[in-house]
Amino acid sequence: AAAESRATIKPINKAVVHRICAGQVILDLSSAVKELVENSLDAGATSIEIALKEYGEESFQVIDNGSGISPYNFKVLALKHHTSKLLDFRDLQLLTTFGFRGEALSSLCALGDLTVETRTKNEAVATHLTYDRSGVLTGERKTARQFGTTVTVKKLFSNLPVRCKEFRRNIRKEYGKLITLLNGCGSLRDNIVALFGMGTVSCLEPVTVCMSDGCLVEGFVSKSGYGSGRSMGDRQFFFVNGRPVDMPKVGKIVNELYRGANSRQYPIAIMNFTIPTQAYDVNVTPDKRKIFFSDESSILHSLREALENIYSPNQANYHINRVE
Ligand code: ADP
Ligand code: MG
């Protein structure tokens, strides 16, 4: 004991270690917002809104219409290395693919003031939750909200003095970087890289279908050897003329053809349908996510042919124009 007390090498206080590690997960405003947006996508959100106060210096907020968080998870939500996305050891591969480390919320707690408002389909009202620096739940009250989750972070980096000064001085630059990330850099591929990382892109196959009537389908699907490995449809995003829509029939075709090549996983699919505006009607449901195409069957037919070419390439097909 005497020797120990005279040792000059001492353990660092746990809270300080947590803060330092958190600073390596959350580097700046855009990495913080990106983590929250990824959580919203993971929760199946089809609408994600981002609100900033003072360019994010005062606070930032990500509001989604995803699955919401079950009350059973309120206590463990922001604890370090707690995740709902790792089911067993085989899923460790996903850690590198999508970065499920169960670290984002716990890191944000360590670096700012985290509050969460959430409501699942099973709850009649939403709950407002507050967490302390170590991710321990400190407050819980009922509030009004639609289904989904809002995560708010106030005063990011306020307890890392050097980083905080830098953050405040560069806030316009940080904001610009965030806007670039959110807007993407132009191509769909660049946007996928920005959101999911290079590793994901290399597992995807480009799809392009040109149709004589001016319709164009562009996007990416999982190569037959790689899937998202999670539940059906959780990484499928469809857009018509750049706006997100539900396309269950398209999802069904992708899943069906992919299953013929790989029955162990589920495919990622991200596709934009460029369609002359007179050829579709978005005002079918109030949220405008349901779409009616005037010539749906021919679009679906051409898409099916293109996907057949990817998943069972011996079949001839004249509609395809694959680009690298
Ligand atoms: P990870 O995403 O690596 O699991 P996070 O710290 O980012 O770790 O999130 C912890 C958990 O909190 C997630 O696994 C998920 O269950 C839940 N969660 C976080 N954000 C949301 C959200 N917007 N909607 C639903 N659940 C969420
Ligand atoms: Mg996360």
Assign 94 a pLDDT band (cuts: 50, 70, 90).
very low
Integer angstrom CA distances of residue 258 from 228, 252, 279, 312, 316? 12, 10, 28, 9, 18
Domain shared by 160 and 20, yes or no:
yes
Q: Is the pLDDT of residue 253 over 50?
A: yes
Question: What is the domain extent for residue 14?
Answer: 2-183
CATH number of the domain encompassing residue 258: 3.30.230.10
Find the ligand nearest to 103 CA: 1
Assign 44 a pLDDT band (cuts: 50, 70, 90).
confident
Point out the ligand 1 atom lying closest to the alpha carbon of residue 86: 4
C-alpha span between 128 and 192 (Å, rounded)? 32
Query: DSSP string spanning 79-119?
Result: STT--SS--SGGGHHHHHHH---S-HHHHHHHHSEEEEEEE
Q: Look at residue 296 in the predicted model and tell me its pLDDT.
A: 81
C-alpha span between 311 and 324 (Å, rounded)? 17
User: What is the whole-number distance in angstroms between the Cα of residue 131 and the centre of ligand 1?
Assistant: 14
Chosen domain end from 133, 152, 183: 183
Q: Is the pLDDT of residue 210 over 80?
A: yes
Instruction: Please indicate, yes or no, if residue 202 is contained in any of the structural domains.
Output: yes
Domain shared by 101 and 195, yes or no:
no
Instruction: Please indicate, yes or no, if residue 317 is contained in any of the structural domains.
Output: no
Residue ID of nearest Cα to ligand 1 atom 4: 83
Instruction: Please indicate, yes or no, if residue 134 is contained in any of the structural domains.
Output: yes
Given a contact cutoff of 8 angstroms between Cβ atoms, the answer to whether 22 and 111 are in contact is: yes
Q: Choose the residue to mutate in 85, 105, 129, 195 for probing ligand 1, maximizing ligand atoms within 8 Å of C-beta.
A: 105
Q: Is the pLDDT of residue 55 over 90?
A: yes
The finding on whether 66 has its CB within 6 A of some atom of ligand 1 is: yes
Q: Which two tokens stand for residue 146?
A: 């639609």
| Stretch 151-155: mean pLDDT | 98
Q: Look at residue 316 in the predicted model and tell me its pLDDT.
A: 45
pLDDT in tens, 11-28: 888 888 888 888 888 889
Point out the ligand 1 atom lying closest to the alpha carbon of residue 101: 3
Q: Look at residue 308 in the predicted model and tell me its pLDDT.
A: 92
Chosen domain end from 167, 183, 199: 183
Domain shared by 8 and 148, yes or no:
yes
Find the ligand nearest to 151 CA: 1
CATH number of the domain encompassing residue 57: 3.30.565.10
Domain shared by 169 and 206, yes or no:
no
Q: Is 307 exposed, middle or buried (0-12, 13-18, 19+ CB in 10 A)?
A: buried
Q: Look at residue 324 in the predicted model and tell me its pLDDT.
A: 41
DSSP annotation of 320: B
Q: Look at residue 230 in the predicted model and tell me its pLDDT.
A: 65
User: What is the whole-number distance in angstroms between the Cα of residue 73 and the centre of ligand 1?
Assistant: 10
The finding on whether 43 has its CB within 6 A of some atom of ligand 1 is: yes
Q: Look at residue 273 in the predicted model and tell me its pLDDT.
A: 87
Q: Is the pLDDT of residue 295 over 80?
A: no
Q: Which two tokens stand for residue 174?
A: 């940080």
Chosen domain end from 142, 163, 183: 183
Domain shared by 266 and 174, yes or no:
no
Average pLDDT score over the chain? 83
Distance of CA 201 to the CA centre of its chain: 15
Lowest mean pLDDT among 91-100, 163-172, 205-214, 304-313: 91-100
Assign 283 a pLDDT band (cuts: 50, 70, 90).
low
| Stretch 148-161: mean pLDDT | 95
Residue ID of nearest Cα to ligand 1 atom 15: 84
Place of tokens 């079950």: 70
Please report, for the chain, how many H helices and E strands are present, in that order: 11, 13
Q: Is the pLDDT of residue 73 over 50?
A: yes
User: What is the whole-number distance in angstroms between the Cα of residue 221 and the centre of ligand 2?
Assistant: 23
The finding on whether 117 has its CB within 6 A of some atom of ligand 1 is: no
Contacts of 315 (CB under 8 A, 6+ apart): 305, 308, 309
Domains: count for the chain: 2
Domain shared by 134 and 178, yes or no:
yes
Q: Which of 159, 145, 154 is nearest to 65 (CA)?
A: 145
Neighbours of 117 (CB within 10 A): 20
The finding on whether 64 has its CB within 6 A of some atom of ligand 1 is: yes
Domain shared by 70 and 147, yes or no:
yes
Contacts of 187 (CB under 8 A, 6+ apart): none
Assign 98 a pLDDT band (cuts: 50, 70, 90).
very low
The finding on whether 120 has its CB within 6 A of some atom of ligand 1 is: no
Instruction: Please indicate, yes or no, if residue 16 is contained in any of the structural domains.
Output: yes
Instruction: Please indicate, yes or no, if residue 323 is contained in any of the structural domains.
Output: no
C-alpha span between 291 and 247 (Å, rounded)? 8
Instruction: Please indicate, yes or no, if residue 272 is contained in any of the structural domains.
Output: yes
Given a contact cutoff of 8 angstroms between Cβ atoms, the answer to whether 302 and 209 are in contact is: yes
Q: Look at residue 18 in the predicted model and tell me its pLDDT.
A: 87
Element (H, E) at 63: strand 59-64
Integer angstrom CA distances of residue 128 from 45, 93, 152, 282? 19, 34, 11, 34
Lowest mean pLDDT among 36-45, 179-188, 234-243: 179-188
Instruction: Please indicate, yes or no, if residue 319 is contained in any of the structural domains.
Output: no
Domain shared by 276 and 211, yes or no:
yes
Domain shared by 174 and 29, yes or no:
yes
Assign 155 a pLDDT band (cuts: 50, 70, 90).
very high
Domain shared by 21 and 150, yes or no:
yes
Domain shared by 149 and 245, yes or no:
no
Instruction: Please indicate, yes or no, if residue 318 is contained in any of the structural domains.
Output: no
C-alpha span between 59 and 53 (Å, rounded)? 5
| Stretch 152-175: mean pLDDT | 93
| Stretch 69-73: mean pLDDT | 97
Domain shared by 63 and 98, yes or no:
yes
